[in-house]
Chains A and B, each alone.
Chain A
């Protein structure tokens, strides 16, 4: 069974600084998708970034970028120039054949 592990239950960053959230996953598949979702206190699940496993190039979306290491089964999220609005729970997710698995989440606090 595929599992997703987020080893950092909580992280903190100073406003305008950079923070990296870790995620590892376990799979025997070669073709899949990886995602980071953000869940603010409103509880809405918001897509942050998406990575296709067959693409070696790391995905980027404005201040958000990933470090995808397929052989190591690692998928970390880097947030640059952190803003107060980035404070939320962040979930890493793995999707193969519509079997979507989520990590336990990392709570990010942004200090002004």
Chain B
């Protein structure tokens, strides 16, 4: 069975550029989560969707960050404009049962120069 798929695996961009990260959840899972992992702050929940609807975006750091889930099999996290402090590993996870186990994708390592 395919797990959570994320692309790209690595992204290097320059400050001010737009960055789009992509995620395909496990088929049949109805909750999708975006996390950011840094050395300083650890793993932080940015936003999550249930049945394609954003439920909690209180972890989104600022207006430069936005996330969409146009259908059950695809989500994007966009940063515009990007800044060096956005450099981190971004994970997508999905879940089939409310508040239960989350299955993580391989992550996208973002470097903003």
A-to-B contact residues, CB < 8 Å:
32-33, 35, 37, 42-47, 50, 91, 95-100, 102-105
List of A residues within 8 angstroms of B109 by Cβ: 43
> A47 and B103: CB pair below 8 A?
yes
* Interchain CB contact (< 8 A) of B99 among A43, A97, A105: A97
Q: Which chain A residue lies CB-closest to B31?
A: A98
Could you tell me the distance in whole angstroms from the C-beta of A107 to the nearest C-beta in chain B? 12
Q: How many A-B residue pairs have CB under 8 A?
A: 49
Q: Do B89 and A50 have beta carbons less than 8 Å apart?
A: no
Contact of B101 with A45 in the complex, beta carbons under 8 Å: no
Least CB separation from B33: chain A residue: A100
- At the interface, is chain B mostly helix, strand, loop or mixed? strand
Question: Which 5 interchain pairs have the tightest Cβ spacing?
Answer: A45-B104, A102-B43, A98-B99, A43-B107, A97-B99
Chain B interface size range: 20 to 34
In angstroms, how far is the closest chain B Cβ from the Cβ of A94?
11
Within 8 A of A (CB), among B30-71: 31, 33, 42-43, 45, 48, 50, 55-56
Smallest CB-CB separation from B102: which chain A residue?
A100
Which residue in A98, A104, A105 is a CB contact (below 8 Å) of B56? A98
Give chain A residues whose Cβ lies under 8 Å from the Cβ of B48.
98
